[in-house]
Amino acid sequence: MRPRAATRTPVRSALYEGTVLHRRSQPAEHVLSHRVCFYAIDLDEVAVLARRLRLFGHNRRAPFSLHDEDHAGRTDRPIKENVLALLAGHGIDTGGGRVVMVTNLRTFGYVFNPVSFFFCHDAAGPLAAVVAEVANTYGERHLYVLPAAEARAGRGGKLTWERDKRMHVSPFFGLDQRYRFILTEPGDTIRLAVGVDEGEDHVLWAEQTGTARPLSDAALVRALVRHPLMAQRVMGLIHWHALRLWLKRVPFHRLPRFRPGEGSLHEPTDTESIRPAAPGARRRTLRDLPPAGRSPLSPAARRLSEWVLTHPAVGRITLEMPDGTARRSGDPATGPDVTVTIASKDTWRRIARRGRIGLGEGYTAGDWYADDLVGLLEILTETGEAVRNSRPGRALMEVQRRRPHLPARADLPGARRDIQYHYDLGNDLYELFLDPSWTYSCAVFEHPGMTLQEAQEAKYRRIGSRLNLGPDSHVLEIGCGWGGFAIHAAAEYGCRVTGLTLSDEQAALARRRIAAAGLSDRIDIQLQDYRTMRGRFDAIASIEMIEAIGHQQLPTYFRSVDRLLAPGGAACIQVISCPDQRYERYRRHHDWIREYIFPGSLLPSLGAMTAAMTRSSELIVEQVDNIGDHYAETLRQWRERFMMNRDRVIALGYDERFIRTWEYYLASCEAAFRTRLIHDYQLVLTRPFNRNLAPGALQEVASR
Contact 248, 30 (CB under 8 A): yes
Pick from 344, 388, 320, 398: nearest CA to 74? 344
Pick from 433, 359, 343: nearest CA to 639? 433
Contact 394, 388 (CB under 8 A): yes
Distance of alpha carbon 507 from alpha carbon 527, whole angstroms: 7
Strand order in the sheet with 56-58: 56-58, 64-66, 106-107
Contact 536, 565 (CB under 8 A): yes
C-alpha angle 150/154/159, rounded to 5°? Answer: 45
Q: If you ran DSSP here, which 8-state letter would residue 354 be given?
A: H
Distance of alpha carbon 54 from alpha carbon 217, whole angstroms: 7
Contact 639, 660 (CB under 8 A): no
Contact 121, 99 (CB under 8 A): yes
For 368-395, what is the HEC assignment?
A: EEECCHHHHHHHHHHHHHHHHCCHHHHH
Q: How far is CA 202 from CA 20, 245, 300, in A?
A: 18, 17, 46
Task: Give the CA count within 13 Å in the CB-facing half-sphere of 12.
Answer: 12
Q: Which residues contact 346 (CB under 8 A, 6 or more apart)?
A: 139, 276, 277, 362, 365, 367
Distance of alpha carbon 80 from alpha carbon 96, whole angstroms: 9
Q: How far is CA 508 from CA 412, 480, 498, 579, in A?
A: 21, 12, 15, 36
556 residue type, one letter: T
Q: If you ran DSSP here, which 8-state letter would residue 135 be given?
A: E
Alpha helical stretches, state H, 171-229: 217-226
Identify the helix (H) or strand (E) that includes residue 347: helix 346-365
Q: What is the dihedral of CA 424, 427, 428, 429, to 10 degrees?
A: 60
Identified catalytic residue from 442, 495, 572, 669: 669
Distance of alpha carbon 436 from alpha carbon 444, whole angstroms: 16
Bridge partners for 129 per DSSP: 120, 147
C-alpha angle 209/164/260, rounded to 5°? Answer: 140
Contact 171, 242 (CB under 8 A): yes
Tally of CB atoms within 10 A around 4:
8
Distance of alpha carbon 256 from alpha carbon 178, whole angstroms: 17
Bridge partners for 328 per DSSP: 318
Distance of alpha carbon 115 from alpha carbon 102, whole angstroms: 9
Contact 545, 479 (CB under 8 A): yes
**Sequential DSSP letters for 578-615:** --HHHHHHHHTS--HHHHHTSTT-----HHHHHHHHHH
Annotated active-site residue 120? The verdict is: no
Which residues are tagged catalytic? 669
